[in-house]
Structure 1
Amino acid sequence: MLSSSHVGILFLRMMPATKKRLVVMLSWLGASPSAVSNYERLYPKNEYDIFTCYPTLKDFLWPQSGLSSALATLQEIQTIMEKGLHSSIVIHAFSIGCYYYALMLYQARKHACKFERFRTMISAQVMDSPVVGSTSEMAFGVSKMTSRRPAFMLALKSLCLVYFSLTRSYTVHYYDIMIAEFETKSPKVPSLCLASTGDPMLVPKAFQDLCNCWKSNRPLEFRIWEKSSHVEHLRFHPEEYRMLLSKVLSDSSDFSTNSAGNSDSIKSKL
C-alpha cells in the first residue's frame, strides 16, 4: 500500500506484463477504509488497481479548498498514469465523492493541456448516491452525514443555510457551476447511477434530470430502489449491484479512449 501526501491511497497490485484499469474511488463523507474496502473488493485484483480518495467536509463547504484538493488529486493520478501501467480509468464515486468528481472534471478542463489525458482515459463512471439539488437539500445532506441526532441535524442544516447565504458568491455560485459540470460536461462513456427512494438525501427530480441528461448522450444504467438508504445499496442489493457494475464495466471494456488508442478488453469476474 502506498499512502499519498494528500487524500489518496493507492493499492498497486502490479502485473507489468498486462495493462490493468485504474479505479479512482471517491468516497463518501466520513467513510472508513474498512467500509470502502467492501467496494474495492468488487474489482478483480488481476485486472484493476485501486486509487481511493477521501474528500473532506472542508472540500464541500469551501469550494476553493475543494478545487485545490481536486487539483492535487489529479496530479497524483497523472503521476500514476505516466508510468504507462494502465489502459484506462474507471470512476466510482459516492455521495460527496460525486461532487468531488465534478471538482476534478472542472480542474481537468481548466488545465486541459496538463490533464487532458485524465479525461480521455476515463472509460466508465459509477455514481452511487449522488447528492444533486438545491442548497437546502445539500445542507440537509451535510447534516445527515454529520450526525444522526434529529435536533443536531436540524441545527446544523440551519447553520449551513445561513453560511450559504453569507458566502453565496464563494459557495452557491460554485455549486451551480459544479452541478452543471457534473451533468453536462462529464465524459460520454458507459455510466451507472444508483439511488433509493429511502435515501433522505435523494432529490427524485434532480436525480431523474441527471439520468435523462446522461441517457441522451451515453450508454446509461440506473436504478432507484425502494428498499435501501444512502450509500447502502451494496448491502441491501448485493447481487443486483454486482450485476449492474459488471454490465457497465463490460460495456466499457471495448470503449476506445483517445489517449490509449486501443480497446481495453476485459472479462468481468464479478
Structure 2
Amino acid sequence: MEVGWLRAAVSLTVNRGKTTCLKNTFPRPLLSCAPMVGADRLAHTQAIHSNMLYISDDNNAKLKADPSTMKLNHDIKKPLCIIMNWMRAKPSHVQKYAALYLAQGFDVVSVSCTPWQLTWPVKGSQVIADRLLKFLEVNSQNPLVLHGFSVGAYVWAELLVQAVQDKQRYQPVLDRIVSQVWDSAADIHEIPVGFPTAVFPRNKLLQETFRAYIKLHMKLCHNLATKHYMKATEVFHSTPCRAPGLFLVSKTDPIGAEHRSRDVCDHWVRSGMKCSVKCWDKSPHVLHYSKHPEEYKAAVFSHLDQCGLLKKKL
C-alpha cells in the first residue's frame, strides 16, 4: 500500500515548463472522541476540527465549534495549552505531554498536520493555522501556553504569518501567550531530512525515494510550497509572540537540528525575549521525554515556574 501511494505522490508531469501538482494522495488521520489514559488520570478528548482535539480531565458536555468562526458552544474556563504535534504523532504519545499540563490546571488543544497538508501549504497547513488562530481569538481570554514539536513549529509559524498581516486584530491573541516550549523544532532546512522519516519510519528505501521527491517538489513548486516555508521560517525567527521560550534539543538529532534552535534562541534573546536551551548529548528526535523523563520534566517545570505557571510537580 505504501509503495502504491508513494508512486502516485512522486509522479510529476512536466508540460511546457509547468508542473502539474497532485492532489491529496496522503491518508488523513482518523480522530475520535474517546477517553485517553494518561499518567494516573483519565483524559477526555473531543474532536473540534479535523486537525484539532480538545483534551481535558473534565468530562465536559459535547463541544462543537462553528465551522466558520471556530466559536465553541461552551465557554472555556481554564487556561489552555496548545500542543503543536509532530508528524503522525500517536494520541497515546501526545497524552503523555498533555498530562503535564492537565496536572497544572490547564485544558489542552492538540493540533496535527498530515503529510499532504505540509506538502501543499495553501490548502493544508495555512488552513490549519487559520482555524487555530480564529479558535484562539474567539474562545476564552485566559492565558495560553505553547508546547510544540518538530513540524509543529512550522505550522505555528504559518499562524504567525497570518497574525502579522492583521496585527491590530491578532496581536492581543499572541499577547495572551505566557510561555512557549519548542521540542525538536524543525524548519524549512530540515523538511527533506525529517519529512521522509516521519512518513516511512521503518523503510529506508522509501525514505530515500520520498526524499528525492520532496527535494524536487520544493524546487519545482516554489510558488505553491517553498516560498511559504521560507516566509514562515522568517517570521518564526522574528516572532511577534514575545512569551519566554524554552528549546529542548539534542546534539544527535538531524531533524530538529541543535544549531537551528540555538540560532532562533539567540535571535529572540537579542530582541529582548527571555529564552533558554536544554540540550542532551544523545537523544532521538521528539523522544527526549521518553529517553530523559526526569530531566525533561525538570526543564519544563522550571520554565513554567519562571513564567508563574507552576502549581505542582508530577
Choose which of 52, 56, 79 in structure 1 pairs with 2:138. Answer: 79
1:95 and 2:150 are equivalent in the alignment? yes
What is the distance in 2 between the residues matched to 1:104 and 1:197? Answer: 28
1:183 and 2:183 are equivalent in the alignment? no
In structure 2, the residue matched to 1:260 is none
1:68 and 2:112 are equivalent in the alignment? no
Query: Contact (CA 8 Å) 1:90, 1:123: kept in 2 or not?
Result: yes
Equivalent AA in structure 1 for residue 120 of structure 2: W
Which secondary structure state, in structure 2, belongs to the residue aligned with residue 29 of structure 1?
Answer: coil
Compute the displacement of 1:183 (Å). 1.1
Higher mean displacement: 225-234 or 193-202: 193-202
In structure 1, the residue matched to 2:208 is 154
What is the distance in 2 between the residues matched to 1:224 and 1:24? Answer: 23
What is the distance in 1 between the residues matched to 2:91 and 2:138? Answer: 23
Choose which of 84, 88, 108 in structure 2 pairs with 1:26. Answer: 84
Compute the displacement of 1:49 (Å). 1.0
Q: From the superposition, tell whether residues 4 and 166 of structure 1 become closer, same or farther in structure 2 (CA, over 3 Å).
A: same
What is the distance in 1 between the residues matched to 2:56 and 2:46? Answer: 8
**1:222-237 to 2 correspondence within 5 Å?**
222-237=277-292
In structure 1, the residue matched to 2:259 is 205
Compute the displacement of 1:46 (Å). 5.5
Q: From the superposition, tell whether residues 46 and 190 of structure 1 become closer, same or farther in structure 2 (CA, over 3 Å).
A: closer
Compute the displacement of 1:184 (Å). 1.1
In structure 2, the residue matched to 1:121 is 176
Which secondary structure state, in structure 2, belongs to the residue aligned with residue 189 of structure 1?
Answer: coil
In structure 1, the residue matched to 2:27 is none
Larger Rg: 2
What is the distance in 2 between the residues matched to 1:186 and 1:227? Answer: 32
Compute the displacement of 1:61 (Å). 1.1
* Matched-pair identity in %: 25
Instruction: Please give the TM-score of this superposition, normalised by the length of structure 1.
Output: 0.85
What whole-Å deviation, never above 9, does each CA across 1:81-106 have from its counterpart, x for those lacking one?
2xx4x2x1000111111111101111
What whole-Å deviation, never above 9, does each CA across 1:201-241 have from its counterpart, x for those lacking one?
14343232112112322221212212210100001111111
In structure 1, the residue matched to 2:112 is 54
Q: From the superposition, tell whether residues 117 and 158 of structure 1 become closer, same or farther in structure 2 (CA, over 3 Å).
A: same
| CA-based RMSD | 2.1
What is the distance in 2 between the residues matched to 1:228 and 1:241? Answer: 11
In structure 2, the residue matched to 1:11 is 55
Gaps in structure 1 of 5+ consecutive residues: 254-264
Equivalent AA in structure 2 for residue 71 of structure 1: D
Which secondary structure state, in structure 2, belongs to the residue aligned with residue 38 of structure 1?
Answer: helix
Equivalent AA in structure 2 for residue 120 of structure 1: D
What whole-Å deviation, never above 9, does each CA across 1:172-198 have from its counterpart, x for those lacking one?
211111111111124222111011122
What is the distance in 2 between the residues matched to 1:164 and 1:205? Answer: 23
Q: From the superposition, tell whether residues 227 and 266 of structure 1 become closer, same or farther in structure 2 (CA, over 3 Å).
A: closer
In structure 2, the residue matched to 1:105 is 160
Q: From the superposition, tell whether residues 133 and 58 of structure 1 become closer, same or farther in structure 2 (CA, over 3 Å).
A: closer
Which secondary structure state, in structure 2, belongs to the residue aligned with residue 63 of structure 1?
Answer: coil
Higher relative contact order (CA 8 A, sep 6+): 1
Equivalent AA in structure 1 for residue 51 of structure 2: V
- Name the one with the larger helix percent: 1
Query: Contact (CA 8 Å) 1:90, 1:122: kept in 2 or not?
Result: yes
Q: From the superposition, tell whether residues 73 and 110 of structure 1 become closer, same or farther in structure 2 (CA, over 3 Å).
A: same
Higher mean displacement: 103-112 or 24-33: 103-112
Compute the displacement of 1:156 (Å). 0.6
1:246 and 2:301 are equivalent in the alignment? yes
What is the distance in 2 between the residues matched to 1:170 and 1:268? Answer: 46
Higher mean displacement: 191-200 or 208-217: 208-217
Compute the displacement of 1:5 (Å). 2.7
What is the number of equivalent residue pairs in this alignment?
Answer: 251
What is the distance in 2 between the residues matched to 1:186 and 1:78? Answer: 16
Higher mean displacement: 65-74 or 237-246: 65-74
Gaps in structure 2 of 5+ consecutive residues: 1-44, 61-75
What is the distance in 2 between the residues matched to 1:107 and 1:195? Answer: 27
Which secondary structure state, in structure 1, belongs to the residue aligned with residue 175 of structure 2?
Answer: helix
